[in-house]
Amino acid sequence: SYDVLVVGGGPAGAAAAIYSARKGIRTGVVGERFGGQVLDTMSIENFISVTETEGPKFAAALEQHVKTYDVDIINLQRAEKLIPASAANPLTEIKLASGATLKAKTVIIATGARWREINVPGEREYRNHGVAYCPHCDGPLFKGKRVAVIGGGNSGVEAAIDLAGLVSHVTLLEFGAELRADEVLQRKLRSLTNVTVHTSAQTTEVKGDGKKVNGIDFKDLTSGELKHVELEGVFVQIGLVPNTEWLKGTLELSRHGEIIVDARGQTSLPGVFAAGDVTTVPFKQIVIAVGEGAKAALSAFDHLIRS
């Protein structure tokens, strides 16, 4: 059995594994895809101390750093079930899709999240070539250009306000008849002169020249009319889905499905910690995920020496 078993091999999981291994305790990391969301990223310019890098390069560096320690890496394995420790069985068990079971004194869950897609033609094709999901990450790439934000909830309206300060023009498209963001955000949005809002607007296609985005098509659901806007970027902001489907019923989740953690990364189950995009910790960023991963590992170590 492991002292610490990390589930998820993204930035949070890698940091948790390194911090655990550095305590000289038996550490394992099991994940579906080492590197996590970073593998889907083109350029990373906001990981402090690294001026600029590429996602796959960053992911390889994470793996290389983990491999300099005595850590069991169990890659390409999906965790399907967590069985909490009990009086009869003091170890937490993680069941894998392969049928195997891993046992550990403490578990750190770092299974991350995924952006909800609009599922229209052009979205996948132009991902990283004009289609983006993270305004904090990719906003500066569109400085002075025209962009659309899809989604009129809090994240969409926040993104539109944020981007309006950087880009020349923002078109906000909301499928429903009204924006769903908080009133303060809507008021701020309405005060901006370079934002156009379309409600009852169904995005039908992201257009491009074969290399990068050059426009967007949407259907005006009130008139039935098809409309086209020329632009260089599309930010999809219709929700971030935490990878916690496999945990339902075992530990406490927020209404958005995020694992509820305290300031130490402790979940509702003793000995089970969580870190990164999968948790309630706000702002889903690499630099935050690695910090949270390190914190969860130190908390797990603290738990081990006290029990």
Q: Give residues in contact with ligand FAD (CB under 6 A).
A: 7-13, 30-33, 36-38, 40-41, 44, 46, 78-79, 110-113, 115, 133-134, 137, 243, 246, 276-278, 284-287, 289
Residue 24 labeled ligand binder:
no
- Which amino acid does the sequence have at 196? T
Smallest distance, ligand FAD to C-beta of residue 278, A? 6
Pick the closer one to ligand FAD by CB: 8 or 153: 8
Smallest distance, ligand FAD to C-beta of residue 158, A? 16
Q: How far is CA 24 from CA 20, 194, 200, 289, in A?
A: 7, 55, 57, 23
Pick the closer one to ligand FAD by CB: 201 or 275: 275
Pick the closer one to ligand FAD by CB: 12 or 118: 12
The structure tokens listed for 101 are: 């079971």
Which residue's C-beta sits nearest to ligand FAD?
Answer: 112
Task: Note whether 33 and 48 are within 8 A (CB).
Answer: no
Smallest distance, ligand FAD to C-beta of residue 186, A? 26
d(CA 301, CA 4): 8
d(CA 179, CA 83): 41
Smallest distance, ligand FAD to C-beta of residue 177, A? 29
Pick the closer one to ligand FAD by CB: 94 or 179: 94
d(CA 131, CA 117): 11
Residue 16 labeled ligand binder:
yes
Pick the closer one to ligand FAD by CB: 10 or 122: 10
Residue 56 labeled ligand binder:
no
Pick the closer one to ligand FAD by CB: 189 or 300: 300
Smallest distance, ligand FAD to C-beta of residue 121, A? 19
Residue 270 labeled ligand binder:
yes
Smallest distance, ligand FAD to C-beta of residue 125, A? 14
d(CA 271, CA 188): 43
Residue 276 labeled ligand binder:
yes
Residue 10 labeled ligand binder:
yes
Residue 66 labeled ligand binder:
no
Residue 215 labeled ligand binder:
no
Annotated binding-site members for FAD: 3-18, 267-277
Binding site for NAD(+): what residues are annotated?
146-160
Residue stretches of the annotated binding site: 3-18, 146-160, 267-277
